[in-house]
């Protein structure tokens, strides 16, 4: 009988141990060791490895003598763009023969170009031509509007302009996104990224309009990279300044163009009324997104004297630019 | 009751091999099995193997929707890719030369239900495209970055349609159901530009800003955005205005419209409604306000619940105004003068309400308007006071993350 009791106790102990173990792994909070708890199904989702953008981004070697900010004013978009880029070293400093260039406009909304909610298609076309003339093997134009991408590209006129100028337009599809790792980022350390147009790319140029913004007060070249994110990116609006600072970290472009040909000076970012738009007649080329945006804040949105939006300070604290554009080397040109 | 007879082991087995508490569970007790049993067992094994293979295959080929946002295309990460070493594209698979693209609504939700959107929106020479409808969950898909504005004003739904006209002109119609006339007027007033000259009458407030028409009627706020300001677009906007006036129910007149209109002669398009943190004061909720003709003096009213709470709340306002001003007695009345702007502010209890003035450049006019407002508030019926205390409806439950 003693032998039976011992056997019984052993087996009961084994069953109890297994039950406790099973209960633990299934009920323990998801952060605990060996826990299998998956209340929202996230842990069950496939988790592949990620990609990273080049460590130093797509920037060219910095220059100690060339201006960081080229500002061209006038009416002829091609001439203005060339003058602005010439001011920071010329297109050949940035684009070499054989380069594959990605141009990232802001095509976030299904609005016609005069309403100022999207990049001016003439500026996008001029930029594509400039890159082509510099010997780029291929120029791609890509953005990921949340709203119907095809409709946004068509209504804004960017698609037609970009294609006519000699580029390929990449519209996002479900298979175009990959997980991107951005070490040091607060919100997007690992986040779906519009990856397909980046394959084989050697240079990246952003071209963004100057817009008022309901949440972050101003949307310009730094905020423009938001359009490369996938997933439920709207959640980041809870910390809009934090995510913009992350975007500055995520993508370090070859240079940026701040499209001040039109300025959506209120009711942004969507706009709608022509009375919210004013002629800016200005194009800025810069190797420093924060300096370009700060110039836009002061001179194009005409908010000089108002405190800059918080994302400037957050991004500057990471060493990603200089919001004090007056302290940088600036060259201003009147064209025509 | 005698003791239960001891169970004996099957022939050939000793007592330690009994079935109960069998210590050798894998021992074969049967000498032979039938062929049918063996076949059935094999079938079960094959079935289990198929299930296992299916699970493994599904694991390796997950449904993209598992990691996709309903509104934004995404895909799972795959092989590690160092971008600099990413394989070059062998053939252009981007959109090549593309003729003008017919707007593809893609993954936008299409709703056959027009809601309160009137029929016959398209005027002569115009045609109506497919409808799309958005709720609080997916409003950001349509107006990313601007959705908060409407979610803070009782947003229920957005019905969207594009009207196509001659020479490529288009008008986008956005009809926001904001749940109450107070919210609709609040959105209308908040988006109104300083130079706009709105008109109000018959339950409608509206104005045209070059290429765009803005209308508040009933619980609806409508924006009709033209692609340009050509005569065709302007004519279509006028057609839309008339269609909205005739096709959207005006609903019950908000008590604040009656209050500010009857007592002070202020048109509805001057009204603002702030559900939370009015004037940046955390305690100021459910505040209705209107601006006087000078464009600066703002009259406000809010329900407090009872007279005691009204007095306490008015004291909170005084404390709040004092945070950026000093006390100043003018014509025997206590005011607070803004130390930066020189404008005057004041709040006082009026029955179960708090009434007040903010940002007045001239005390005399402000005091006169405040006195009128106070009298009008004290004359409100208990039913109206109860309705005011409830406030207009808030946004429908949804994703307020935007």
Give the closest of B66, B97, B143 to A163, CB-based.
B97
Whether pLDDT at A43 is above 90: no
Give the closest of A49, A148, A163 to B106, CB-based.
A148
Q: Which residues are registered as beta bridge partners of B336?
A: B327, B345
Select from A102, A225, A252 the least CA-distant residue to B86.
Answer: A102
Mutant choice from A234, A276, A278 vs B, greatest count of B C-beta within 10 A: A234
Pairing of strands B157-164, B170-177: antiparallel
Whether pLDDT at A8 is above 60: yes
pLDDT in tens, B309-331: 999 999 999 999 999 899 999 88
Does B383 reside within a domain?
A: yes
Does B108 reside within a domain?
A: no
Under a CB-based contact definition with an 8 Å cutoff, are residues A251 and A222 in contact?
no
Q: Both tokens of residue A280?
A: 């800016």
Whether pLDDT at B226 is above 90: yes
pLDDT at A183: 93
Please indicate whether, in this complex, the C-beta atoms of A47 and B88 are within 8 angstroms of each other. Answer: no
pLDDT band at A176 (very low <50, low <70, confident <90, very high): very high
Distance between CA atoms of residues B346 and B356, nearest Å: 5
Percent of all residues in chain B with a pLDDT value above 70, rounded to a whole number = 77
Please indicate whether, in this complex, the C-beta atoms of B225 and A197 are within 8 angstroms of each other. Answer: no
Using CA coordinates, name the residue in chain A closest to B107: A148
Does B118 reside within a domain?
A: no
DSSP string of B192-229, one letter each residue: --TT---EEETTEEEEEETTEEEEEETTEEEEEEESS-
ipTM: 0.77
DSSP string of B27-95, one letter each residue: ----S---HHHHHHHHHHHHHHHHHHHHHHHHHHS--GGGT--SSS------S-EEGGGPPPPSS--SB
Under a CB-based contact definition with an 8 Å cutoff, are residues A331 and A71 in contact?
yes
Under a CB-based contact definition with an 8 Å cutoff, are residues A161 and A121 in contact?
yes
Most confident of A321-335, B285-299, B381-395: A321-335
User: At a CB cut-off of 8 Å and minimum separation 6, what does A226 contact?
Assistant: A233, A243, A244, A247
pLDDT at B66: 57
CA distances in angstroms from B116 to A139, B28, B134, B253, listed in the order given: 46, 76, 14, 18
Least Cα separation, residue B85 to chain A (angstroms): 7
- Judged by a CB distance cut-off of 8 A, whether residue A197 touches chain B is yes
Under a CB-based contact definition with an 8 Å cutoff, are residues A117 and A268 in contact?
yes
Give the closest of B76, B88, B402 to A46, CB-based.
B76
Whether pLDDT at B240 is above 70: yes
pLDDT at B68: 52
pLDDT at B351: 92
Please indicate whether, in this complex, the C-beta atoms of A112 and B170 are within 8 angstroms of each other. Answer: yes
Q: Both tokens of residue B131?
A: 């409808």
| Straight-line distance from the first to the last Cα atom of chain B, in angstroms, rounded to the nearest whole number | 77
Half-sphere exposure at residue B318, Cβ-oriented, CA atoms within 13 angstroms: 14
- Judged by a CB distance cut-off of 8 A, whether residue A160 touches chain B is yes
Backbone angles phi, psi at B256, to 5 degrees: -70, -30
pLDDT at B8: 52
User: Would you tell me how many other CB atoms lie within 10 Å of the CB of residue B309?
Assistant: 14
Q: Which of A179-183, B103-107, B187-191, B257-261 has the lowest mean pLDDT?
A: B103-107
Which domain CATH number covers B315?
A: 3.40.1000
Whether pLDDT at B399 is above 90: no
Average pLDDT of the segment spanning B113-122: 91
- Decide which of A31 and B131 is more confident: B131
Helical ranges in B138-267 per DSSP H: 139-143, 147-151, 181-191, 231-247, 255-264
Give the closest of B84, B103, B229 to A154, CB-based.
B103
Q: Which of A239-253, A321-335, B19-33 has the lowest mean pLDDT?
A: B19-33
Q: What's the maximum distance between 2 C-alpha atoms anywhere in chain B?
A: 117
Select from A248, A262, A336 the least CA-distant residue to A301.
Answer: A262
Task: For residue A306, give the DSSP letter.
Answer: S
Under a CB-based contact definition with an 8 Å cutoff, are residues A114 and A280 in contact?
no
In Å, how far from its chain's centre is CA A289?
11
Whether pLDDT at B146 is above 80: yes
Q: Which of A104-113, B107-116, B160-169, B317-326 has the lowest mean pLDDT?
A: B107-116
pLDDT at B259: 87
Task: For residue B76, give the DSSP letter.
Answer: -
pLDDT in tens, A96-137: 999 999 999 999 999 999 999 999 999 999 999 999 999 999
In Å, how far from its chain's centre is CA B22?
65
Residue A214: which region, alpha, beta or left (left: phi > 0; alpha: psi -120 to 50)?
alpha
Select from B355, B351, B343, B348 the least CA-distant residue to B294.
Answer: B343
A269: cis peptide before it, omega within 30°? yes
Does B97 reside within a domain?
A: no
Chain B residues with CB under 8 Å of A4 CB are 21
Whether pLDDT at B96 is above 50: no
Sign of CA dihedral A189, A193, A196, A200: negative
Mutant choice from A147, A150, A240 vs B, greatest count of B C-beta within 10 A: A147
pLDDT at B272: 85
| Straight-line distance from the first to the last Cα atom of chain A, in angstroms, rounded to the nearest whole number | 108
Under a CB-based contact definition with an 8 Å cutoff, are residues B375 and B317 in contact?
no
Distance between CA atoms of residues A233 and B21, nearest Å: 59
pLDDT at A209: 98
Q: Which of A219-223, A231-235, A309-313, A327-331 has the lowest mean pLDDT?
A: A231-235
Distance between CA atoms of residues B199 and B203, nearest Å: 11
Least Cα separation, residue B129 to chain A (angstroms): 13
Please indicate whether, in this complex, the C-beta atoms of B229 and A192 are within 8 angstroms of each other. Answer: no
Distance between CA atoms of residues A297 and A40, nearest Å: 42
Mutant choice from B75, B89, B100, B133 vs A, greatest count of A C-beta within 10 A: B75
Does B172 reside within a domain?
A: yes
Please indicate whether, in this complex, the C-beta atoms of A147 and B142 are within 8 angstroms of each other. Answer: yes
Mutant choice from B90, B145, B189, B212 vs A, greatest count of A C-beta within 10 A: B145
pLDDT in tens, B193-225: 888 889 988 889 999 999 999 999 999 999 999
Give the closest of A231, A270, A272 to B72, CB-based.
A231
Please indicate whether, in this complex, the C-beta atoms of B145 and A176 are within 8 angstroms of each other. Answer: no
Give the closest of B103, B146, B227 to A270, CB-based.
B146
Contact pairs from chain A to chain B, CB under 8 Å: 211
Whether pLDDT at A88 is above 70: yes
Does B1 reside within a domain?
A: no
Q: Which of B247, B275, B302 is the last residue of a domain?
A: B247
Average pLDDT of the segment spanning A82-106: 98
Select from B234, B240, B239, B236 the least CA-distant residue to B222.
Answer: B240
Chain A residues with CB under 8 Å of B191 CB are 267
3-state secondary structure B296-327: CCEEEEEECCCHHHHHHHHHHHHHHHHCCEEE
Q: Tell me the residue length of chain A.
A: 336
Select from A160, A329, A102, A305 the least CA-distant residue to B96.
Answer: A160
Whether pLDDT at B252 is above 90: no
Half-sphere exposure at residue B106, Cβ-oriented, CA atoms within 13 angstroms: 24
Least Cα separation, residue A321 to chain B (angstroms): 24
pLDDT in tens, B349-390: 999 999 999 999 999 999 999 999 999 999 888 888 887 877
Whether pLDDT at B251 is above 90: no
Under a CB-based contact definition with an 8 Å cutoff, are residues A114 and A262 in contact?
yes
Quote the domain boundaries for residue B356.
Answer: 255-390
Q: Both tokens of residue B391?
A: 């406030």
Please indicate whether, in this complex, the C-beta atoms of A111 and B225 are within 8 angstroms of each other. Answer: yes
- Which helix or strand (DSSP H or E) is residue B363 part of? helix B363-378
Q: Which residues are registered as beta bridge partners of B217?
A: B204, B220
Select from A231, A216, A213, A226 the least CA-distant residue to A314.
Answer: A216
Distance between CA atoms of residues A262 and A282, nearest Å: 8
Under a CB-based contact definition with an 8 Å cutoff, are residues A314 and A247 in contact?
no
- Chain A window 277-336: which residues touch B at a Cβ cutoff of 8 Å? none
Same-domain pairing of B209 and B314: no
pLDDT band at B106 (very low <50, low <70, confident <90, very high): very low
Least Cα separation, residue B382 to chain A (angstroms): 39
Q: Both tokens of residue A305?
A: 């004297």
pLDDT in tens, B61-91: 766 555 554 444 433 333 333 343 333 333 3
Task: Spell out the domain ranges in chain A.
Answer: 1-47, 49-335
Does B98 reside within a domain?
A: no
Q: Which residues are registered as beta bridge partners of A51?
A: A180, B81
Residue B374: helix, strand or coil by DSSP?
A: helix
Mutant choice from B7, B95, B167, B210 vs A, greatest count of A C-beta within 10 A: B95
Please indicate whether, in this complex, the C-beta atoms of B144 and A269 are within 8 angstroms of each other. Answer: yes
DSSP string of B143-159, one letter each residue: HTTTHHHHHTTT--EEE
Report how many domains make up chain B. 2
Backbone angles phi, psi at A237, to 5 degrees: -65, -15
Q: Which of A14-28, A204-218, B246-260 has the lowest mean pLDDT?
A: B246-260
Distance between CA atoms of residues B53 and B78, nearest Å: 21
Give the closest of A146, A153, A198 to B101, CB-based.
A153
- Judged by a CB distance cut-off of 8 A, whether residue A167 touches chain B is no
Whether pLDDT at A3 is above 80: no
Average pLDDT of the segment spanning A163-180: 94
Select from B262, B271, B293 the least CA-distant residue to B365.
Answer: B293
Does B204 reside within a domain?
A: yes
Matching residue, tokens 């050949």: A92
Please indicate whether, in this complex, the C-beta atoms of A140 and B94 are within 8 angstroms of each other. Answer: yes
Domain A49-335 in CATH 3.40.50.11440? The answer is yes
Q: Both tokens of residue A71?
A: 């500002």
pLDDT at B311: 95
Q: Which of B198, B220, B247 is the last residue of a domain?
A: B247
Using CA coordinates, name the residue in chain B closest to A219: B145
Task: For residue A229, give the DSSP letter.
Answer: B
Q: Tell me the residue length of chain B.
A: 402
Residue A334: helix, strand or coil by DSSP?
A: strand
Q: Which class for B109: exposed (0-12), middle (13-18), buried (19 or more C-beta within 10 A)? A: middle
Same-domain pairing of B275 and B235: no
Select from B329, B374, B332, B326 the least CA-distant residue to B349.
Answer: B374
pLDDT at B17: 56
pLDDT at B163: 97
Average pLDDT of the segment spanning A37-43: 74
Whether pLDDT at A42 is above 70: no
Give the closest of A47, A51, A268 to B81, CB-based.
A51
Distance between CA atoms of residues A223 and B144, nearest Å: 13
Q: Which of B247, B271, B294 is the last residue of a domain?
A: B247
Chain B residues with CB under 8 Å of A173 CB are 73
Mutant choice from B66, B77, B132, B401 vs A, greatest count of A C-beta within 10 A: B77
Same-domain pairing of B242 and B276: no
């Amino acid at each position: 009988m003693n032998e039976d009791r011992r056997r019984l106790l052993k087996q009961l102990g084994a069953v109890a141990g297994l039950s406790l173990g099973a209960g633990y792994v299934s009920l323990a909070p998801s952060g605990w060791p060996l826990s299998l708890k998956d209340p929202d199904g996230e842990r069950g989702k496939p988790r592949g490895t990620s990609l990273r953008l080049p460590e130093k981004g797509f920037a060219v070697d910095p220059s100690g003598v060339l201006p960081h900010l080229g500002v061209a004013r006038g009416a002829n978009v091609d001439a203005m763009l060339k003058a602005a880029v010439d001011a920071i070293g010329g297109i050949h400093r940035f684009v070499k023969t054989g380069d594959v260039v990605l141009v990232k406009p802001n095509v976030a909304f299904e609005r016609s170009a005069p309403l100022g909610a999207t990049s001016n298609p003439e500026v996008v076309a001029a930029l594509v031509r400039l890159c082509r003339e510099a010997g780029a093997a291929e120029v791609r134009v890509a953005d990921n509007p949340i709203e119907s991408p095809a409709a946004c590209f068509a209504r804004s006129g960017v698609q037609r302009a970009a294609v006519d100028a000699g580029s390929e337009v990449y519209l996002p599809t479900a298979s175009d996104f990959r997980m991107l790792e951005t070490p040091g980022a607060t919100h997007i350390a690992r986040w779906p990224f519009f990856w397909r147009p980046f394959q084989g790319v050697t240079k990246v140029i952003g071209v963004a309009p100057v817009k008022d913004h309901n949440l972050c007060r101003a949307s310009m070249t730094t905020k423009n990279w938001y359009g490369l994110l996938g997933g439920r990116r709207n959640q980041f609006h809870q910390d809009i300044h934090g995510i913009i600072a992350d975007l500055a970290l995520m993508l370090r472009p070859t240079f940026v163009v701040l499209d001040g040909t039109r300025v959506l000076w209120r009711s942004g970012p969507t706009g709608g009324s022509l009375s919210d738009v004013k002629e800016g007649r200005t194009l800025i080329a810069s190797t420093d997104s924060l300096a370009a945006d700060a110039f836009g804040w002061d001179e194009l949105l005409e908010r000089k004297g108002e405190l800059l939006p918080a994302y400037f300070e957050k991004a500057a604290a990471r060493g990603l630019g200089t919001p004090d554009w007056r302290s940088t080397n600036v060259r201003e040109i009147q064209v025509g | 009751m005698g003791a239960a007879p001891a169970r004996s082991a099957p022939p050939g087995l000793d007592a330690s091999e009994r079935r109960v508490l069998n210590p050798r569970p894998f021992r074969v007790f049967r000498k032979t099995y039938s062929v049918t049993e063996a076949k059935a067992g094999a079938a079960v094994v094959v079935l289990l193997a198929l299930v296992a293979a299916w699970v493994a295959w599904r694991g390796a080929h997950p449904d993209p929707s598992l990691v996709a946002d309903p509104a934004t295309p995404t895909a799972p990460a795959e092989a590690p890719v160092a971008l600099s070493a990413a394989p070059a594209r062998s053939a252009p698979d981007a959109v090549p030369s593309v003729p003008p693209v017919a707007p593809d609504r893609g993954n936008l939700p299409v709703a056959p239900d027009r809601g309160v959107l009137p029929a016959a929106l398209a005027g002569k020479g115009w045609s109506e495209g497919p409808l799309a409808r958005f709720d609080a969950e997916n409003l950001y898909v349509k107006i990313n970055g601007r959705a908060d504005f409407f979610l803070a004003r009782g947003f229920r739904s957005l019905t969207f349609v594009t009207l196509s006209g001659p020479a490529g002109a288009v008008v986008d119609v956005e009809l926001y159901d904001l749940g109450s006339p107070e919210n609709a007027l609040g959105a209308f007033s908040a988006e109104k530009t300083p130079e706009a000259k709105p008109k109000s009458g018959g339950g409608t407030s509206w104005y045209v800003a070059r290429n765009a028409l803005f209308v508040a009627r009933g619980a609806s706020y409508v924006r009709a955005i033209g692609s340009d300001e050509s005569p065709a677009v302007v004519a279509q906007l006028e057609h839309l205005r008339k269609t909205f006036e005739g096709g959207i129910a005006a609903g019950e007149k908000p008590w604040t419209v009656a209050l500010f209109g009857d007592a002070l002669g202020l048109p509805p398009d001057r009204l603002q409604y702030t559900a939370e943190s009015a004037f940046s004061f955390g305690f100021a909720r459910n505040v209705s306000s209107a601006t006087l003709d000078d464009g600066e003096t703002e009259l406000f009213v809010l329900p407090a619940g009872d007279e005691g709470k009204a007095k306490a709340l008015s004291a909170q306002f005084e404390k709040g105004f004092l945070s950026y001003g000093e006390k100043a007695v003018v014509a025997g009345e206590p005011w607070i003068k803004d130390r930066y702007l020189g404008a005057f502010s004041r709040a006082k209890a009026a029955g179960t309400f708090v009434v007040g003035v903010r940002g007045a450049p001239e005390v005399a006019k402000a005091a006169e308007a405040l006195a009128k407002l106070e009298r009008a508030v004290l004359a409100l019926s208990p039913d109206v006071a109860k309705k005011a205390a409830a406030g207009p409806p808030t946004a429908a439950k949804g994703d307020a993350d935007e």
